[in-house]
Amino acid sequence: MLRLLVIALLLANALLLGVQMLRPSEDGLPRQPASSPSALAVPPLVLLKEMGEDETAMRGNAECFTVGPFESEDAKEAARAQIAPSAVAISLRETIATVDRGTWVYLPAQPDYLTARSMQLTLRDAGFADAVVVREGEWLNSVSIGYFLNENNAQAIFDDARSMGFPVERRRQQNPEQRYWLDYEQRVGAPYVQPSDNSPISPDRHRLTACGRGA
């Protein structure tokens, strides 16, 4: 009899639990067991193929380039016109380049113009036909023998003048010059600029770069 009573109680508890599970909750959904995590706490799973345009935004949809350097404003503007059809943004940068003008061989400044003129004629008589008096600036009344891009030629003239007793000197000439750069951005898939030796932008002046950074 006691065994039958225990079995009956167990069946009654199971029936009561079943009725509670089937009873609708206040929001109309079936009740979850107390030990089960709520479905609302699980973040939804989104496949990459379902992301559409968001996926492209994650990879970035722009490519950036830099072109230059250009030595004149005319060359810079011609390059700007070439990239304008492809670019969505163009910015200008300016830098200073140190340009090597070769080696200057010269006689240091003389006390006055008449002395410098006399030294010029003496140098010409000795075979230095390009000797000329500097008439202005920092080197006033010095006597220039010539500028030489080839260092060997400069050395030969220097040695010849020295061997004849002329106290000549030599100086490497470097001048600062303005340079222009154009940085531009274009959308992925837009037509690329086509550099060539016959266009304002030669292949060696067109480079892919990180967006937000120049060359």
Domain boundaries in the chain?
55-98+177-209, 99-175
Q: Which fold has domain 99-175?
A: Alpha-Beta Plaits (3.30.70)
Query: What average pLDDT does the chain have?
Result: 78
pLDDT on residue 36:
42
Task: Tell me the CA end-to-end span of the chain in Å, nearest whole number.
Answer: 96
* pLDDT computed for residue 188 by the predictor: 83
Indicate whether 25 pLDDT > 80: no
Write down the pLDDT at residue 158: 95
How many whole angstroms separate alpha carbon 43 and alpha carbon 106? 82
- pLDDT value for 122: 96
Query: How does residue 60 score in pLDDT terms, banded at 50, 70 and 90?
Result: low
The pLDDT of residue 132 is: 96
- Residue 15 is predicted with a pLDDT of 59
| Per-residue buried b or exposed e for 97-132, using 16+ beta carbons within 10 Å of the residue's own CB | eeeeebbbbbbeebeeeeebeebbeebeeeebeebb
Q: How would you class 210 by CB atoms within 10 Å of its CB: exposed for 0-12, middle for 13-18, buried for 19 or more?
A: exposed
**C-alpha closest to that of 168 among 150, 144, 151, 147:** 144
**Pairing outcome for strands 206-209 and 89-107:** unpaired
- Alpha-carbon dihedral angle through residues 184, 187, 191, 197, given to the nearest 10 degrees: 20
Q: How confident is the model at residue 14 (pLDDT cuts 50, 70, 90)?
A: low
Of residues 62, 59, 98, 57, the one with CA closest to residue 183: 62
Q: What is the pLDDT of residue 71?
A: 92
Token pair 């163009």 is found at 90
Full-prediction pTM beyond 0.75?
no
Q: What is the pLDDT of residues 101-141, one digit of tens each?
A: 889 999 999 999 999 999 999 999 999 999 999 999 889 99
CA torsion sign for 208, 209, 214, 215 is negative
Distance CA 35, CA 49 (A): 35
Average pLDDT, integer, range 81-108: 91
For 101, phi and psi rounded to 5 degrees?
Answer: -100, 10
